[in-house]
Structure 1
Amino acid sequence: MQPIFDFFFDQYYGYPTLFIILEVIAVIFGFLSVLYSKQNNILVYPTGIISTTIFVYLLWQWELLGDMMINAYYFSMSIYGWYIWTRKVDAEHFTPITNTTKKENWQSLFIFIATLLFVFAVYEYFDKWTNWTAYVDTFTTAIFFVGMWQMAKRKIENWIFWIIGDIISVPLYFYKGLTLTALQYFVFTIIAIYGYKAWQKNLRNDLRPS
């Protein structure tokens, strides 16, 4: 049992206690945020804001610039999404779950490419191309940027981007030595699959004639 424990958590030996506590808190609120998202619950945003705020600080300390920018972007998009989800489209209804339009698909592509270029430029400027993880980090950052934007607009396709990004992030974070965060993304993958199914059911119900 001890060798297994050491394999997963040996990376934390020597870490400041404060960092470990903050990561645990961020992971807990991250779980809550994804669960609330699956349930189409507005609490996805306040819980997400707490998690991302902590992760921005931790990732800056760990010099993981792409990941840090993801969480800074999540923070800003959480505020935007909170507004969209509480905005009424008429006297009785809030912004509904819908499919992306052709225009929104082009906007998603633009966000993806723009994010790739921006993160690449940041890594280049700070001369952080020291490991292959930087290239993967750039790619996952672009994926998550699109997913967060689509989720804020309540587009069902956001879950596809979350699933892809989460699957890539599991081994990436474990390799970086962030075992708790890697486990978080593993659970995120499972929740995202169920979230996609739940939103599909919700969308079908909304499309049924009254």
Structure 2
Amino acid sequence: MSIDSLLDALQAMSVWEVVAVLLGIAYLLLVVRESLWCWYAAFGSTAIFLYIFWDVGLVMESGLQVYYLAMAVYGWWQWQHGSGEAGELEITRWNPTRHVLAIGLVLSAAAISGLLLAKYTGAALPFLDSFTTWGSILTTWMVARKVLENWLYWLVIDSVSIYLYLDRGLYLTALLFMVYLVIVVFGYRKWLHHYRMQSS
């Protein structure tokens, strides 16, 4: 892609995509800080992306946004009424067996829904769309439960998502996910430090 075509694409982006991206960045930065406000940003960003993804034919991604809306409410409640001494949910870790099961379930669900989408719909990139969708379903739940390794899962999912969005012409959204990759590294380090502090 040339610089000119990228500039043309950036100029063609809607105001709504810009707002969704800004709220998405705010969401992740607030997650790093373990701020309850992250869930408000998540709800707003998700509502906008629900329409955007449907409009460009990413069926699974648009369906994922419905789940994100529910998880924004669930995450808000979990973080506020968690199991810590002060009512705040503490960071936890999963054992290797749980990770193997989780990854196996994501890959199996992605293969099945990818086949169904390829056969019965005109969905774009059905297998990649399915992988990012099922991976995001699991990983968002991990965030809501404050599972430390969620950050490592996001590294993989966000990397695949960048390709998906570039293919669909959602250049600002792809840029958002590139920013996410940087924030994810800092988020993992910050949560790991907090986890070690709370475990000592």
TM-score w.r.t. structure 1 length? 0.84
Q: Is 1:42–2:40 an aligned residue pair?
A: no
Cα-Cα RMSD: 2.4
Q: Is 1:20–2:20 an aligned residue pair?
A: no
* Counterpart among 179, 203, 206 of residue 198 in structure 2: 206
Q: Which runs of 4+ in 1 moved over 3 A?
A: 101-107
* Counterpart among 164, 187, 196 of residue 179 in structure 2: 187
59-68 vs 104-113, greater mean Cα deviation: 104-113
108-117 vs 57-66, greater mean Cα deviation: 108-117
Task: Give the aligned length.
Answer: 199
**DSSP-derived class of the 1:165 partner:** helix
163-172 vs 188-197, greater mean Cα deviation: 163-172
- % identical equivalent positions: 26
Q: Is 1:10–2:8 an aligned residue pair?
A: yes
Counterpart residue number, 1:94: 88
133-142 vs 182-191, greater mean Cα deviation: 133-142
Counterpart residue number, 2:170: 178
Alignment partners' CA distance in 2, 1:192 and 1:200: 12
Alignment partners' CA distance in 2, 1:79 and 1:121: 31
Alignment partners' CA distance in 1, 2:93 and 2:130: 27
* Counterpart among 139, 157, 163 of residue 165 in structure 1: 157
Q: Is 1:77–2:77 an aligned residue pair?
A: no
Counterpart residue number, 1:52: 46
Change (3 A) 1:9 1:126: farther
Unaligned runs of 5+ in 1: none
Change (3 A) 1:204 1:63: same
* Counterpart among 149, 171, 174 of residue 141 in structure 2: 149
Q: Deviations along 1:49-108, whole A, 9 cap, x unmatched?
A: 000011001111222102112222211111111111111426623110110246754663
Contact kept in structure 1, 2:23 and 2:44, CA below 8 Å: yes
Q: Deviations along 1:105-158, whole A, 9 cap, x unmatched?
A: 4663465256425633662464225x5x32221122222122111111100011
